[in-house]
């Protein structure tokens, strides 16, 4: 009975710790997600940036665009129009098979870069965010911990 109760208490404590760490707001962090799409018919580059912020002094400061490794343009901002997801649209000229590289730069810390090849049909998906990776690792550690303990 006591062993079973200790197990339940340990599980509850671990989930509380995981919840606290996964919801903790980090003051300086890079963008967590960056998706780009180029529409050839309109010569339009659509950039979606996920960068969760809670204050006005933390924002995406600039977006750098390169085509085939050469600097095309840099767009600088003094604030973030949305506290979670930002969408910018740029009129640029690129041809089929050109490689467009986009870098989103946080004013406090970090960058995130994605690229796409014009005309390539593959989806441009970013990697999972920190919270998802942290949650999966926490579950694996918890399972390993309880397997060793028993």
Mean pLDDT for the chain overall: 81
Per-residue pLDDT, 146: 64
How many beta carbons lie within 10 A of that of residue 94, not counting itself? Answer: 20
The answer to whether residue 46 scores a pLDDT higher than 90 is yes
Return the axis-axis angle of helices 2-23 and 130-149, rounded to nearest 10°: 160
Q: Which CATH architecture has domain 33-128?
A: Sandwich (2.60)
| Band of residue 69 on the pLDDT scale cut at 50, 70, 90 | very high
Per-residue pLDDT, 29: 79
Within the chain, all domains assigned CATH 2.60.40 are found at 33-128
Q: What is the pLDDT of residues 77-111, one digit of tens each?
A: 999 999 999 999 999 999 999 999 999 999 998 99
Does pTM top 0.85 for this prediction?
no
Per-residue pLDDT, 16: 72
Q: CA–CA separation, 17 vs 141, rounded Å?
A: 13
The answer to whether residue 11 scores a pLDDT higher than 80 is no
The answer to whether residue 129 scores a pLDDT higher than 60 is no
Structure tokens at 39: 């529409």
């Amino acid at each position: 009975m006591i062993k079973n109760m200790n197990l339940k208490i340990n599980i509850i404590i671990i989930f509380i710790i995981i919840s606290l760490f996964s919801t903790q707001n980090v003051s300086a962090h890079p963008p967590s997600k960056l998706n780009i799409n180029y529409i050839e018919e309109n010569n339009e580059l659509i950039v979606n940036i996920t960068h969760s912020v809670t204050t006005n002094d933390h924002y995406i400061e600039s977006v750098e665009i390169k085509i085939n490794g050469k600097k095309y343009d840099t767009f600088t901002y003094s604030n973030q129009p949305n506290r979670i997801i930002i969408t910018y649209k740029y009129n640029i000229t690129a041809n089929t098979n050109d490689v467009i590289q986009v870098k989103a730069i946080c004013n406090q810390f970090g960058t995130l870069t994605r690229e796409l090849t014009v005309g390539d049909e593959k989806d441009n998906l970013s990697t999972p965010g920190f919270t998802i990776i942290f949650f999966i690792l926490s579950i694996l550690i918890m399972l390993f911990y309880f397997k060793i303990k028993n």
